Homo-oligomer: A and B are copies of this chain.
């Protein structure tokens, strides 16, 4: 009858409180809450009930401390310089992760990973606050450098490896579909402005392009860009310079396609009359350009969600998951 009142009114229910209320030991309460070990249906109910009554929620810090499990999902973007962090795609990945991890009491950190990453990866591997790592735009070298202690809690958005599951859009298929459309609408002198060679995500679209040209008996005309608007401009200019009779341009990103469109507009070239332009990504503004950009979708949020789900579940997943891209026909091609 004599309540102690030793705790302030704002006290947050602790496992001890739940155990006491349910008339069991802390361990037992812990087991049913964590969902682990054995427990009779009766006790289970009592504990659950008590927990509900008290509005109990486990303290993640305490749990992390004892289990060694971390509480931060680190989004590690691979690149030559930290500038790679300033990118709308990265933002979308981080945002998706931050909202999906919230219910698990896991926060998200964003950092740059230099191309010669090993030391940083090892630091993450032994950092007790790190729950898991989401690699973005990674390379084979980085994948190979992933320490054993990190395996099972690393996934990649982009290329994967036997050890590190990869989640990516089917950009090879997207490129093929786009090129097929260009070909089917009568284009025969098709150029491509590619992404940077060092990025693995550039390879498949380029291969698709080369394969399509070869299959059609057409010469390849490709120019390297870096996914930016500026490189789309210079790339387009170079294409016009080297192959003046070009009648279609496939850009590896919408940003580059928009840059190309700008150059064409400045020079009074009719799109798609004289030259068709297609991009890749379907960014929000693709629908607003003049002419509206034909492009293929890139379901970044979906991909990120898949990767994060795998990380939170901690379960084994297939080494590679490809997300479908859909061709969106607008005015430019």
Contact = CB atoms under 8 A, between A and B. Distances in A.
Interface of A: 10, 12, 57, 59-62, 64-65, 70-75, 85-86, 88, 90-92, 94-95, 98-99, 101-102, 105-111, 126-129, 149, 229, 258-259, 261-262, 265, 283-285, 288-290, 301
Contact of A95 (B85, B126, B290): B85
Given A108-B107, A129-B105, A290-B265, A99 B72 contact: no
B106 A98 contact: no
**Which 7 A-B residue pairs are closest in the complex by CB-CB distance?**
A107-B107, A91-B91, A98-B110, A102-B109, A61-B64, A72-B107, A285-B285
B95 A90 contact: yes
B106 A110 contact: no
A91 B95 contact: yes
Copies of this chain present: 2
Nearest to A90: B95
A95 B107 contact: no
13 contacts: A12-B126, A61-B64, A61-B70, A61-B71, A75-B98, A91-B91, A91-B94, A94-B98, A94-B108, A101-B107, A101-B109, A265-B290, A288-B289
Contacts of A284: 88, 229
Chain B CB within 10 Å, residue with most, of A71, A75, A95, A105: A95
A103 to B, nearest CB: 9
B108 A98 contact: yes
A95 B110 contact: yes
Contacts of A149: 10
Contacts of A128: 12, 59-61
Contacts of A285: 258, 283, 285, 288
Contacts of A109: 98-99, 101-102, 106-108
A95 B84 CA distance: 12
Contacts of A101: 107, 109
A111 B95 contact: no
A71 B229 contact: no
B288 A57 contact: no
A3 B129 CA distance: 29
Contacts of A265: 290
Contact of A94 (B62, B95, B262): B95
A113 to B, nearest CB: 12
A102 to B, nearest CB: 4
A105 B70 CA distance: 10
Contacts of A92: 91
Contact of A106 (B60, B99, B107): B107
A291 to B, nearest CB: 9
Counting chain B CB atoms within 10 Å of each CB, which of A62, A94, A289 scores highest? Answer: A94
A72 B70 CA distance: 12
Contacts of A60: 71, 128-129
